[in-house]
């Protein structure tokens, strides 16, 4: 079964900004997909519409056969625990320990016990094991804000893994990191997703990182998908087209109701590869 199916997904924010103009794609189990595109293209909105952090205006998001947009609270909670999320700003609770932050990844599986901090012995063992796996076995009792940015993001990865997700949504996970830390974080994310058979949708500004790690790349421009292919198919000419379209026209989202016709922007249309 297809893991995730996105059909004609649209998002118009309350102020009229049309951030997504109708996006379609599928994700199969274990794929590592980089989502690229200029600032304001709609990458974050897309990821947030998948787990309903942002409510889409219309379209379909089917995750493991379940309609996420119309899911009730209970079903949505189940869907969200199988869709881990990693954030640019790490989103850790800074004043609590690294271990506790990873245990927060188990909250979706718990009821009142989690709210009281009553984690099971096996959850604590698993969280410890995950921290060892991301190379932070020595840091588990430190406060989260005592760690470097790259270390904090590895805590974020361990927390997402603690959810035992089928899909990880990573929203610019290396945007605030230096090149060395970025490499460590991307390598960890890629390796653990591969080892655990987890699919990943990873928003990236760095095209070189997308080409290095992704098994597939989706290019977004002004709320529409303008490229969907392998790293090899993402030629320098295509990169130039995706990003340089941005220069004249800005990237502040579409006006509400404005559709994007890719051929009208001069982007080449190659069947299968570009513009599904």
Ligand X SMILES: Nc1ncnc2c1ncn2[C@@H]1O[C@H](COP(=O)(O)OP(=O)(O)OP(=O)(O)O)[C@@H](O)[C@H]1O
Enumerate binding residues for ligand X (CB under 6 A): 13, 15, 17, 19, 37, 39-45, 252-253
Per the DSSP assignment, residues forming a β-bridge with 60 are 7
- Shortest reach from residue 172's CB to ligand X, in Å: 6
Tokens at 211, concatenated: 């080409």
Closer to ligand X by CB, 18 or 92: give it: 18
Closer to ligand X by CB, 124 or 251: give it: 251
Residues in Cβ contact with 120 at an 8 Å cutoff, skipping those fewer than 6 apart = none
Closer to ligand X by CB, 39 or 230: give it: 39
Minimal CB distance to ligand X: which residue? Answer: 253
Give the whole-angstrom CA distance, residue 3 versus residue 14. 30
- Shortest reach from residue 145's CB to ligand X, in Å: 24
Phi-psi region of 92 (alpha: psi -120 to 50; beta: other; left: phi over 0): beta
- Shortest reach from residue 135's CB to ligand X, in Å: 28
- Shortest reach from residue 45's CB to ligand X, in Å: 3
Give the whole-angstrom CA distance, residue 244 versus residue 237. 10
Tokens at 230, concatenated: 């392998």
Closer to ligand X by CB, 39 or 244: give it: 39
- Shortest reach from residue 189's CB to ligand X, in Å: 18
Q: How far is CA 229 from CA 21, 97, 219, 226, in A?
A: 20, 41, 9, 10
Closer to ligand X by CB, 48 or 154: give it: 48
- Shortest reach from residue 251's CB to ligand X, in Å: 7
Closer to ligand X by CB, 66 or 175: give it: 175
Tokens at 148, concatenated: 């470097």
- At residue 105, the 3 state secondary structure works out as helix
CB hemisphere CA count around 39 (13 angstroms): 3
């Amino acid at each position: 079964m297809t893991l995730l199916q996105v059909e004609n997904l649209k998002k118009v924010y309350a102020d009229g900004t049309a951030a997504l103009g109708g996006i379609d794609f599928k994700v199969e189990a274990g794929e590592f997909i980089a989502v690229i595109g200029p600032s304001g293209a709609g990458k974050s909105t897309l990821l947030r519409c998948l787990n309903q952090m942002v409510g889409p205006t219309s379209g379909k998001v089917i995750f493991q056969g379940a309609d996420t947009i119309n899911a009730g609270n209970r079903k949505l909670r189940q869907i969200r625990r199988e869709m881990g999320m990693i954030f640019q700003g790490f989103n850790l609770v800074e004043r609590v320990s690294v271990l506790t932050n990873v245990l927060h990844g188990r909250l979706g599986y718990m009821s009142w016990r989690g709210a009281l901090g009553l984690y099971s012995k096996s959850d604590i063992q698993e969280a410890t094991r995950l921290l060892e796996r991301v190379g932070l076995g020595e840091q588990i009792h430190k406060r989260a804000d005592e760690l470097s940015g790259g270390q904090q993001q590895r805590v974020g990865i361990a927390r997402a893994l603690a959810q035992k997700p089928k899909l990880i949504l990573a929203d610019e996970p290396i945007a605030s990191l230096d090149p060395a830390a970025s490499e460590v974080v991307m390598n960890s994310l890629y390796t653990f997703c591969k080892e655990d058979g987890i699919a990943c949708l990873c928003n990236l500004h760095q095209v070189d990182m997308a080409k290095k790690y992704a098994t597939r790349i989706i290019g977004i421009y002004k709320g529409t998908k303008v490229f969907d292919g392998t790293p090899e198919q993402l030629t320098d000419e295509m990169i130039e087209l995706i990003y340089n379209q941005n220069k004249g026209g800005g990237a502040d989202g579409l006006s509400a109701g404005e559709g994007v016709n890719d051929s009208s922007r001069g982007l080449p249309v190659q069947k299968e590869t570009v513009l599904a």
